[in-house]
Chain A
Amino acid sequence: MTETNSKIQTELLEEPYEPTIIVFACNWCSYAGADLAGVSRLKYPTNIRIVRVMCSGRVDPAFIMKAFLKGADGVLVAGCHPGDCHYLEGNLSTEVRVKNTQEAFDILGWETDRLRLEWISASEGKRFAQIITEFTEQIKELGPIKKR
């Protein structure tokens, strides 16, 4: 009896793993997309923390590194579709930077799946919700970051 009691207790106490995901969303497309998702009352996991940037090209590899060091489990960089950038080609440089950062993670021997780049336009509220759901599932599967 006591055994089952303690079992129930630990199960109740043990909270399921909820990852923290930082989303860098560009002001003109992806943030508006997130807005639309909210206005349309679409459901998506609450694990994300959105950081609005004027352009996804503003996101430096150092920001991504720092997010992970400060305890994020995943980072999503979201920008306008290629060709739609408010600043003409900011998102193209983002593509290069995120690719470089992923390559650097490979060199360091770390999981590249924790960093993702997506193009989300202002009209794609549904896509935003879908990507967030998908990415959260993916991070949940990867589990928490193992610090040394």
Chain B
Amino acid sequence: MMVISDQSPIYAAVNLSKSELKTMLSACYQCSSCTSVCPLRRVSKFNPRKIIHKFKMDTPVSEEDLTSCLTCSLCLEVCPQEVDFPEFIRLSRKNVGISDDNFAHHNIFNLIQIFMGEMTESGMKFDFQGKTDPTSNIAYFPGCIDLFDRFLDLKETDFHQIGQSAINIMNKVGISPNLISLKCCGHDAYWTGDEGAYDQVREYNTQFIKSSGISTLVVSCAECYYTFEKLYDLDVRVQHISQFIDENKEKLGFKGETYDLAYHDACRLGRFMKEYDTPRNVLKATGANIKEFTLNKQFTKCCGVSAWLKCDDNSRAIMLRKLEETAQAVGNEGTLAVGCTKCFAHLNCVLEDRKPQHNFQIKVKEIGMIVDETSSSKS
């Protein structure tokens, strides 16, 4: 019996055949816990238990099922047998391949990842205000936020501000970060099964980080954090921005005015990296009174889309549910804090639709932005 453990198969080059995939699923005894918690199941006919059952009975997984799964890993959290369904989906995607039509935004973001791997010789270039120092051994990597500004047609959402806030915070603490020019982390390519593109960016990034001589890499996005920390083989310390703030929160001089706030645990930060308390501690330090969702921490429902795959009616319904939960917790004009750039993008996207879809006045903010706004220190 093979139950997937912490020893994730990514460390070894795997090319699992069908029988091996079956062995991976053999522990499943069809209790249907996964289906009962699946966020997608709340709005569609998606059924993880049935997919496993069918696969064991030699029916291939349909492309619809393969692309619908959010890989949010909530099923793994409740599975009594620890059958790694997201990993199964990932490996199936790798074996079967996903056609371009299944991606949102005409697949632009995954094309950019491939573009970065194949065509460009250097990493992304960033342009932020504030003090940066190329020789510093603490590096900051903003991720693909500048590209979101270019290609996501969101008029009221400023992604650039995420990076700017992080740099402001680091300056306030007294650090001039090395604004490291990496390529995309490759998270989406990895989870959509395009390991060729993932390997290309990983090789470049690993080499660049090693040659740059940094000791700490701070990132804003939960996906970057998960990828650099868990998938890459780096010998530097990788920190999510909330962990960085948690270590330095005395220096930030919070005003301490209390306000209500809801917090959404991003799957890559929460369930994948087990980071539940640090972001909460940071938010509490800013004076936030966190109103918890009924389903929180490891049982948080996903924000609705992962890896730019298939943003359809179901995704929208999940996002609207998330906003509904937020409205119940903090009121219709409250604030929702997230620790992941992607959650920030997806939830803001559905918020900008407004009427007739919904009437929420909620603000979705990234942790770094909230901290920067509430901190009174001068850089």
Interface residues of A (CB under 8 A from B): 60-63, 65-66, 68-69, 100-101, 103-104, 106-110, 145-148
Contact = CB atoms under 8 A, between A and B. Distances in A.
A60 to B, nearest CB: 5
A110 B120 contact: yes
B150 A109 contact: no
Q: Would you call the interface of chain A mostly helix, strand, loop, or mixed?
A: helix
B117 A62 contact: no
A147 B125 contact: no
Contact of A104 (B105, B123, B151): B151
B128 interface: no
Interface in B79-113: 105-108, 111-112
A62 B107 contact: yes
B112 A146 contact: no
A69 B119 CA distance: 8
A65 B115 contact: yes
Contacts of B106: 60-63
A65 B114 CA distance: 10
Contacts of A69: 111, 114-115, 118-119
What band does the interface of chain B fall in when counting residues whose beta carbon is under 8 Å from A? 20 to 34
B124 A148 contact: no
A108 B112 contact: yes
A68 B116 CA distance: 12
Chain B residues touching A, majority SS: helix
Contacts of B125: 106-109
A100 B154 CA distance: 13
A109 B107 CA distance: 20
A132 to B, nearest CB: 24
A147 B115 CA distance: 10
A104 B119 CA distance: 14
B325 interface: no
Contacts of B30: none
Contacts of B146: 107
Given A60-B108, A107-B150, 13 more contacts: A61-B106, A61-B108, A63-B106, A69-B114, A69-B115, A69-B119, A100-B150, A104-B150, A107-B124, A109-B121, A109-B122, A147-B118, A148-B121
Contacts of B281: none
B147 interface: yes
A109 B120 CA distance: 7
Contacts of A108: 112, 115-116, 120, 124-125
B351 to A, nearest CB: 21
Nearest to A93: B153
Contact of A109 (B112, B117, B124): B124
Contacts of A63: 106
B200 interface: yes
A61 B120 CA distance: 17
Contacts of B126: 107
Nearest to A146: B121
A69 B108 CA distance: 12
Nearest to A148: B118
9 contacts: A61-B106, A62-B111, A65-B112, A69-B118, A107-B126, A110-B115, A110-B120, A147-B119, A148-B118
